[in-house]
């Protein structure tokens, strides 16, 4: 029997998914059933045709002829129960497709899609409470151990962990051959855009989650910005996404487990091959034997190794070693696309710093050294007991060639006279201070105390040490 | 007591650099921690804002971890103002500034012969050192 799928997707309300999907999974396999569900929900994005095992070759031929595709060609996948690694192919013409189908179809269900250029891949996890959208440039194979970018949505907060390094994206060329291309890291703005792209699919994803909870689906974006949902995956338990320590014991293979000291958190970094899980599984077994119950990973918390770890009862957290984090409150919608192209440097110009800093003639500063007033750049070793630790350190830093803001220190000798005069400044000191202001061309100043050992023993004066800013000269 | 009178730097970016990581006993001595925000450093130093945090591997001079927060307000010489919308979530420091700070941190640490707690400000395309003090072993 042929089920004719409508060319245009049906409205989501008309889908009665639960009963249908169960029988589809049984009859045609998960891959087909899921693709059909996405198709019916209008989530395929690209031209997609689905054929049940009984569909006649004539019918398939007719349908292929109707496809808008494309001078680029078609991709064909088969689905049968839970079978993996069924033949799949890429073909330029409908005739080539037909030949392949006739030769390989057995009793498989068939998925034919227009060939499209995949740009970015995504995985979405949602359990009704927290959602993670993971993004990766290029193709995301099931065995990918690349670290994806992660966008977490919880309550009204979007937390983005941005992968900081360029990636070698895996892509397919027009001859259907894999190649690698260097891609710059995504920006925070781009990652936020990715999340926004899911907005129109919200209700439909909820429908899918009613059947498969927690939801864990795979989709990609093509060069025309279309999203195509293609797969559901097994999550293997709930991912955790907490912070991470900065020091790890790194496990690259089974021998690294032997050398674990029992204290440092484990960074599980075993790389996998698509066709060979054995080293991965061996290492996970060894983890369990050592009773290591929780590990960090650099690759995605939804990656294949992470899933295997969770299935083995090992908790998995993202290490964020190579990430930069940003938290965005989503309560108010901040769209600022118009400003996006302005560089950060330009934006920083908006922060006023006033007129250019005036350099002072070193000769002038040399004059500023007497028992009461000392320019910060003129502090000598023997001044140390009269100027306090803070000023002494600043003097030393200035002498070593670092930039410090120009200024002077009023010594403890002057301070003592001020205290003895019950808070009245002697005229000579007052004149010296005015002169220092003039010579150093000080305008807005920060006034801070610089305490000596003597002061430190007097706890009661603690409040005096507080730095006060913004004294205007006068 | 002595008094320091110094020209105000109307900082575009301010921050604190620790030439050791007080949060991590195991790796503390091999790491620098930088905390930075837009505007003057007072809100950061007083703990009013958390700013951006960078943990840097001293030897390799690599950023091991960075946390960029949303910086809504900043202190300027005219008081507290809003950070321009488009840079709120931008890192307060770029890689070259971090690199310069690491160099400065290493040199000042050497100068005083002990791990340092350094306050800095960036304005007029220059990194200004506002203060540096030694961190005691028990953590400062």
> CA of A176: how far to CAs of A45, A74, A110, A219, in Å?
20, 10, 19, 19
The verdict on a CB contact (< 8 Å) between A446 and B112 is: no
Domain total of chain A: 3
Residues A252 and A309 in one domain: yes
Residues A126 and A72 in one domain: no
User: What is the band of B58 on the pLDDT scale with cuts at 50, 70, 90?
Assistant: confident
Residues A140 and A60 in one domain: no
A15 compared with A89, residue with greater pLDDT? A89
- Residue A458, both tokens: 């007097």
Does residue A230 form part of some domain? yes
Average pLDDT along chain A: 80
Q: Which residues of B touch A411 (CB under 8 A)?
A: 2
Instruction: Give the pLDDT score at A137.
Output: 93
**Dist CA A114 CA B106 (whole Å):** 58
Residues A266 and A405 in one domain: no
Q: Which residues of A touch B86 (CB under 8 A)?
A: 336, 339-340, 342, 347
The verdict on a CB contact (< 8 Å) between A353 and B10 is: yes
Helix (H) or strand (E) holding A185: none
- Kindly report which listed range (A461-465, B8-12, B74-78, B92-96) carries the lowest average pLDDT score: A461-465
- Residue A305, both tokens: 């190794």
- Which residues 28-87 on chain B approach chain A with CB closer than 8 angstroms? 31, 38-40, 42, 55, 63-70, 74, 76-78, 84-87
B36 compared with A458, residue with greater pLDDT? B36
B124 touches chain A (CB under 8 A): yes
Residue B53 neighbours by CB distance under 10 Å = 18
Residues A218 and A329 in one domain: yes
Domain B13-134: which CATH number of 3.30.470.20, 3.90.1300.10, 3.30.465.10, 1.20.120.420 = 3.30.470.20
Residues A304 and A179 in one domain: yes
Instruction: Give the pLDDT score at A352.
Output: 56
Q: Are A407 and A373 in contact (CB under 8 A)?
A: no
**A354-364 average pLDDT score:** 68
Question: Chain B closest CA to A137's CA: distance in Å?
Answer: 22
Q: Which residue of B3, B8, B68 is in closest CB contact with A324?
A: B68
The full length of chain B comes to 140
Residue A399 β-bridge partners: none
**Dist CA B38 CA B71 (whole Å):** 8
Does residue A437 form part of some domain? yes
Question: Chain B closest CA to A128's CA: distance in Å?
Answer: 26
Q: Are B49 and B43 in contact (CB under 8 A)?
A: yes
Q: Are A316 and A297 in contact (CB under 8 A)?
A: yes
Q: Are A390 and A456 in contact (CB under 8 A)?
A: no
Q: What global pTM score does this model have? A: 0.57
Residues A39 and A180 in one domain: no
**Dist CA A170 CA A172 (whole Å):** 7
Domain enclosing residue A133, as ranges: 117-335
What single-letter DSSP state applies at residue A46? Answer: S
The 10s digit of each residue's pLDDT in A274-292 is: 667 788 889 999 998 988 9
Residue that has been written with the tokens 């000798």 in this structure: A413
User: What is the band of A398 on the pLDDT scale with cuts at 50, 70, 90?
Assistant: very high
Quote the ipTM score. 0.91
- Enumerate residues 6+ apart whose C-beta is below 8 A from B96: none
Does residue A235 form part of some domain? yes
- The residue among A320, A335, A350 that closes a domain is A335
Residues A152 and A235 in one domain: yes
The 10s digit of each residue's pLDDT in A3-33 is: 434 334 444 445 555 678 888 888 898 889 9
Does residue A391 form part of some domain? yes
Residue A214's nearest CA partner among A109, A135, A129 is A129
The verdict on a CB contact (< 8 Å) between B40 and A396 is: no
Does residue A7 form part of some domain? no
User: What is the band of A69 on the pLDDT scale with cuts at 50, 70, 90?
Assistant: low
Q: Are A122 and A137 in contact (CB under 8 A)?
A: no
Residue B5's nearest CA partner among A458, A404, A353 is A404
Q: Which residue of A325, A433, A445 is in closest CB contact with B6?
A: A445
């Amino acid at each position: 029997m042929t089920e004719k799928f409508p060319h245009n997707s049906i409205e989501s309300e008309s889908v009665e998914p639960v009963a249908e999907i169960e029988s589809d999974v049984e009859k045609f396999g998960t891959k087909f059933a899921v693709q059909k569900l996405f198709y019916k929900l209008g989530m395929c994005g690209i031209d997609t045709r689905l054929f049940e095992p009984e569909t006649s070759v004539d019918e398939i031929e007719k349908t292929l002829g109707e496809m808008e595709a494309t001078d680029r060609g078609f991709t064909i996948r088969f689905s049968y129960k839970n079978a993996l690694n069924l033949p799949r192919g890429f073909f330029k013409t409908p005739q080539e497709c037909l030949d392949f189908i006739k030769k390989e179809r057995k009793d498989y269900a068939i998925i034919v899609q227009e060939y499209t250029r995949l740009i970015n891949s995504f995985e979405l996890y949602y359990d009704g409470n927290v959602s993670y959208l993971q993004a990766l440039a290029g193709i995301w194979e099931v065995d990918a151990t690349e670290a994806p970018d992660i966008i977490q949505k919880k309550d009204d907060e979007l937390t983005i962990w941005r992968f900081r390094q360029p990636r070698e994206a895996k892509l397919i060329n027009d001859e259907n051959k894999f190649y690698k291309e260097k891609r710059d890291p995504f920006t925070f703005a781009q990652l936020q855009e990715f999340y926004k792209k899911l907005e129109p699919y919200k209700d439909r994803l909820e429908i899918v989650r009613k059947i498969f909870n927690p939801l864990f689906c795979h989709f990609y974006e093509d060069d025309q910005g279309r999203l195509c949902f293609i797969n559901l995956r097994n999550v293997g338990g709930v991912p955790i996404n907490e912070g991470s320590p900065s020091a790890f014991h790194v496990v690259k293979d089974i021998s690294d487990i032997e050398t674990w000291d029992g204290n440092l958190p484990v960074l599980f970094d075993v790389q996998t091959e698509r066709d060979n899980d054995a080293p991965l599984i061996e290492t996970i077994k060894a983890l369990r034997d050592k009773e290591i119950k929780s590990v960090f990973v650099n690759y995605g918390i939804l990656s294949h190794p992470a899933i295997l770890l969770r299935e083995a009862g090992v908790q998995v957290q993202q290490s964020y070693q190579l990430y930069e984090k940003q938290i965005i409150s989503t309560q108010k919608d901040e769209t600022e696309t118009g400003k996006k192209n302005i560089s950060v440097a330009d934006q920083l110009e908006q922060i006023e710093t006033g007129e250019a800093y005036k350099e002072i003639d070193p000769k002038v500063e040399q004059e500023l050294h007497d028992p009461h007033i000392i320019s910060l750049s003129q502090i000598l070793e023997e001044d140390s007991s009269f100027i306090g630790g803070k000023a002494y350190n600043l003097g030393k830093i200035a002498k070593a060639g670092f930039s410090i803001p120009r200024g002077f220190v009023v010594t403890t000798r002057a301070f003592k006279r001020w205290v003895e005069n019950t808070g009245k400044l002697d005229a000579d000191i007052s004149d010296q201070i005015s002169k220092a202001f003039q010579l150093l061309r000080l305008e807005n100043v920060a006034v801070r105390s610089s305490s000596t050992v003597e002061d430190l023993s007097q706890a009661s004066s603690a409040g005096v040490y507080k730095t006060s800013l913004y004294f205007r000269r006068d | 007591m002595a008094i320091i009178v110094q020209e105000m730097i109307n900082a575009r970016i301010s921050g604190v650099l620790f030439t050791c990581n007080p949060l991590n006993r195991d790796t503390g001595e091999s790491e620098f921690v930088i905390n930075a925000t837009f505007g003057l450093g007072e809100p950061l130093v007083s703990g009013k804002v958390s700013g951006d945090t960078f943990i840097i591997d001293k030897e390799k001079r690599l950023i091991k971890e960075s946390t960029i927060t949303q910086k809504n307000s900043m202190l300027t010489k005219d008081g507290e103002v809003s950070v321009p919308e488009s840079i709120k979530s931008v890192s307060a420091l770029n890689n070259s500034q971090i690199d310069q700070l690491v160099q400065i941190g290493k040199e000042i640490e050497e100068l005083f012969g002990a791990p340092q707690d350094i306050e800095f400000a960036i304005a007029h395309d220059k990194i200004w050192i506002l203060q540096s003090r030694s961190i005691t072993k028990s953590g400062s």
